[in-house]
Chain A
Amino acid sequence: MRSSTILWPAVAGFSSINLPAALVLLLSIVIGLLMVVVFRYTSNQKAIHAAKEQLKAHLLAVRLFQDQLPVVLSSYGRILRGTGRYLRLALKPLLIVALPLTFLIVQLDRRFGWVPMSAGQPFLVKVRANGAEELAGISLQLPAGITSTAPAVHIPADSEVVWRLVAEKDGAYELSVASGSDAVSKNVLVSPALRCVSPERLHAPYWERVFVSGEPALPGGVIRSIAVAYPPRTISFLGWEWNWIWLFFVLSLVAGFLFKSMLGIEI
């Protein structure tokens, strides 16, 4: 009775795995494995092992000599120093893997982070200008298949103008936003499939754009950014709704811990 009570949510969770969840699970396992292997070859395994053993020793000292306050205090100091040493040793391999992994995760985020629009589903397009006085000159030209369902709303306090649109059918569309003689475009994806989306196009340095935009930078003019309000994706897994990043984080950690034990790698 008791075991079935425990097992049921897990079984139910797995039975409800959908494609994004399955892909995140697979990617987490692969990346968890890759991470520990890279960590193995870019870290000083002996030194990490020694640092961890020392930390455990000082923890045991706190327990063994608990009646001796000076010993407890000095052990606590050693634990702090030991933790610093451990983090220092872990830093180099972390830096080595952090950069490629960041780019990889950015790419994955465009696929798993947002849901493309559905046909018939209204959505907002938000254009931000340099200043409130520029808003009057901004216009939106819609491609065939997309219609506006309400007049544009101007929000001078935020230097923004917002349109509510709807797509008649699936497809990749290109909106054109004009200001005077300048015109810039923005992609809109309407699809039931797992596709790469770019929620925003903006005028900003590369490091600001890379996390949110999969499109080229806007030219420096009146328009600062154009955002399409794609709904964020949640993934059903083990009975919970997850943001894919947290699911990936937890699963890749679990996979990493399993692989590190199997491969005898010190982390």
Chain B
Amino acid sequence: MFRWRPALLLALTLLVFTPTPSHAYAGPGAGFAVLSSFWTLFVAFLYSVYAFLTWPFRHLLRQLRRRKSYAKAQIKRAVILGFDGMDPELAERFIQQGNLPNLAKLREEGTFRKLRTTFPPISPVAWSTFMTGVNPGKHNIYDFLARDTNNYLPFLSSAEIKGPKRSFKIGRYTVPLGKPTIKGMRRGTPFWHWLGRAGIFSSIIRVPVTFPPEKFPGVLLSGMCVPDLKGSQGTFCLCTTRGSGDKFREGGVRVPIERNGSGWRSYIPGPEDPLGGGDGKELCADFEIHPEPRGEQARIRIDSETFTLKVGEYSEWIPVKFKAGLGFSARGICRFYLKELSPEVEVYVSPVNIDPGHPDLPISHPVTYSIYLSKLFGPYATLGLAEDTWALNEEVLDDQAFLAQCYANHEDRERMLFDALDKTRQGLCACVFDTTDRVQHMFWRYLEEDHPAARKVPREQRPNVIEDLYCRMDSLIGRVMSQIDEHTLLLVVSDHGFKSFARCVNLNAWLQQNGYLALKEGKSESGDWFEDVDWSRTRAYTMGLNGLYLNLKGREREGIVPPGAEAEALKNELREKLNGLADPDSGRIGVTGVFDCDAVYAGPYVDNAPDLIVGYGDGFRASWDSVMGKVTGQVFEDNLKAWSGDHCIDPRLVPGVLFSNRKIDDEKPAIVDVAPTILKLFGLQLPSHFDGKPWTVGASAAG
């Protein structure tokens, strides 16, 4: 019977493919199958014919244009695996323990070095330097946030999204004319653009600060800094029957769940109503929760989607539509996590990601690349900071739920990487994995004997999350190694390492206590973003993770420090006083270096840089309040958040890693050298503005 099955299938396929009038008897069903199949094959055939017929001409054109792109190349392909935050000391430790056989092999047969990072060692800064081969003074990214000198408020440093300039009114609606404009703030040219101009194809996946995506000869999926549908860097939603007036410090909102017959009803807050004329009113997507009889699972219904979730289980990516009226709507995707059904009902909803299959904003180049990946692998996280660290910080998600989310995203990216490897048999394939960064941020507390955030958890109950993380990454590296040949250069790089974040330093509090920052009369603390700061008596302030700013006359709206000698003197005074600042509780050094930006940066955008970069010591970081421009009473305090490891400290303490399957002779490689090295290996001339220097790379690869 089974021997006949292929023949039968073939016969039936032929039957359906060769429609005759008698087939009309099979009715519209056969018609659908025939038409769909025919259309697919027809389009494929057209594409293929087009590709076949034009390939020689395009090939010739490419040859003429790029003058034999690979003629001087020492490699056929470069594969760069970026592991955000992979730490060289931890890697070394786990290699010594025999847990990372593939990294051990690279170390033995190729290269393992510490990779010098940027000032400051923050991902958007370091990855911008990685891709452009220049210091931040030339690429204009100094932190996640930059400050507006007109009002001392922050804005996202990497991209600016503005609504359409023009609109018209129809009754109560303000109808926008045109699309939002997205302006990339990162300057400099990523090295894959140089490769593209020489005719070398690149596949770039999730490299930070590639939003908005730029046009170049290759494909690119944007990574860190892609916003969610609300335009934020990730706003989760906790729907709950528990009444609470508390607001989350950052990154989430609490939404009530209300009774609705035998079930419950709630909503997901969405983007601002585009027809609201900027009145700030949010669109919402309603959903219903119907607990099932035994109380262990519930049916959730949103739009036409209905799915069942057990307590402690995530949904797949669910499409969500926010309807605005007049046919306007915004589409996104999110995941539901059923936290509790009894006695209270609580549902966590992830930030609403831009739907990669129907992107409302461009998140890839070309736009069809995100659609292609979505069709090939299904919907996936598109948010820049897709792992919801805020939800774990606010104890909305527990450790297991957070890890499940991280590794689900990670598996999606692995699939994308292997597809890119398959599609990029010549040229550059670069993919950055964020999981290493997020998991270390959130689970460093279990690595230490006495981290304030883990004091409640007995030693024997602490999971080996970070060790497991490194093993998983090693396994991925092993699978990549098995897919590359001796003509391929493999680089495993990280933008920075990691250290403990056990103690918070509120530099604004220190500035206030030392007379550099003043509060308004009668105030002992400020609100967020310098509310109640008296700028007329303030000479210095800090916001963001490492930047310290002078309140400079002529630059800041209410600046009082004259530029020139007085400003220089103030900078020197601050450097002297802050350098070596000790924690009174332990006597440990909280600040190990303060760097003058005029000395560490050079380039056309230095004026946008902070005046000083503060390098915190091992175990310290800017406090949560200080980052948000808040002045509190205490300079040093314990960090009790799950976010317990960090890297936004003295860059000399947190170098990244460099592994390669080839010998690299340089003893002190830096992340800024990656771009010139790759260009050199492909036989290209180096642009004169590069700050990095190409490494000397051996000719043979580790087997």
Contact = CB atoms under 8 A, between A and B. Distances in A.
Interface of A: 31-32, 35, 39, 50, 52-72, 76, 79-80, 82-84, 86-88, 90-91, 93-94, 97-98, 101-102, 105-106, 243, 245-246, 248-249, 252-253, 255-257, 264, 267
Interface residues of B, number: 48
Contacts of B33: 86-87, 90-91, 94, 267
Nearest to A263: B304
B375 A60 contact: yes
B423 A68 contact: yes
Given A57-B372, A87-B13, A246-B21, A69 B423 contact: no
B321 interface: no
Contacts of B50: 66
Interface in B1-53: 9, 12-13, 16, 21, 24-33, 35-37, 40-41, 43-44, 47-48, 50-52
Contacts of A59: 40, 43-44, 47
B376 interface: yes
Which residue, B13, B27, B62, B369, has most C-beta atoms of chain A within 10 A? B27
B368 interface: yes
Contact of A97 (B27, B37, B422): B27
A54 B58 CA distance: 28
Nearest to B17: A87
B425 interface: yes
Contact of B28 (A32, A55, A70, A102): A32
A61 B423 contact: yes
Contact of B26 (A87, A98, A243): A98
Contacts of B24: 105, 245-246, 248-249
Contacts of A257: 32
B28 A35 contact: yes
Given A61-B372, A72-B51, A88-B9, A98 B44 contact: no
Contacts of A98: 25-27, 29-30
Contacts of A55: 40
Contacts of A245: 21, 24-25
Nearest to A49: B378
Contacts of B371: 60
Contact of A101 (B12, B27, B373, B376): B27
B609 to A, nearest CB: 38
B48 A63 contact: no
Contacts of B328: none
B218 to A, nearest CB: 10
B219 interface: yes
Interface residue SS majority, chain B: helix
A83 B368 contact: no
A102 B26 CA distance: 6
B33 to A, nearest CB: 4
A253 B32 contact: yes
B368 A60 contact: yes
Which residue, B12, B371, B375, has most C-beta atoms of chain A within 10 A? B375
Contact of A249 (B31, B40, B368, B422): B31
A71 B372 CA distance: 14
Contacts of B32: 39, 90, 253, 256-257, 267
B29 A94 contact: yes
Given A57-B376, A252-B28, A87 B16 contact: yes
A83 B50 CA distance: 20
A86 B9 contact: no
A67 B201 contact: yes
A68 B16 contact: no
Nearest to A103: B25
Given A56-B375, A63-B368, A91-B12, A267 B36 contact: yes
A95 to B, nearest CB: 9
Contacts of B13: 84, 87
Contacts of B26: 94, 98, 101-102
Contacts of A61: 372, 376, 423
Nearest to B426: A68
A71 B369 CA distance: 15
A93 B29 contact: yes
Which residue, B31, B35, B62, has most C-beta atoms of chain A within 10 A? B31
Nearest to A104: B27
Contacts of B55: 67, 69
Given A63-B368, A69-B51, A246-B21, A35 B27 contact: yes
21 contacts: A31-B27, A35-B28, A57-B372, A62-B51, A64-B372, A65-B219, A66-B58, A67-B59, A68-B426, A69-B51, A79-B40, A86-B33, A88-B9, A90-B32, A94-B29, A97-B27, A98-B25, A245-B24, A249-B28, A252-B27, A267-B29
B486 to A, nearest CB: 19
Interface in B465-518: none
Contacts of B304: 264
B372 A66 contact: no
Nearest to B54: A66
A124 B354 CA distance: 70
Contacts of B376: 53-54, 57, 61
Contacts of A90: 29, 32-33
B366 interface: yes
A173 to B, nearest CB: 30
A213 B374 CA distance: 53
Contacts of B41: 79-80, 83
A79 to B, nearest CB: 4
A64 B219 contact: yes
A267 B31 CA distance: 10
A53 B375 contact: yes
Which residue, B21, B48, B59, has most C-beta atoms of chain A within 10 A? B48
B448 to A, nearest CB: 45
A234 B368 CA distance: 46
Contacts of B29: 35, 39, 90, 93-94, 97-98, 101, 256, 267
Nearest to A88: B9
A146 B62 CA distance: 82
Interface in B171-225: 201, 219
Contacts of A60: 368, 371-372, 375
B369 A64 contact: yes
Contact of B30 (A69, A71, A94, A264): A94
Given A91-B9, A246-B24, A253-B35, 14 more contacts: A54-B376, A59-B40, A61-B372, A64-B369, A67-B59, A71-B423, A72-B48, A79-B40, A79-B41, A94-B33, A98-B25, A98-B27, A102-B26, A105-B24
A253 B25 CA distance: 13
B48 A76 contact: yes
7 pairs of A and B residues whose beta carbons are closest in the complex: A57-B375, A57-B376, A60-B372, A252-B28, A62-B47, A53-B375, A90-B33
A65 B368 CA distance: 12
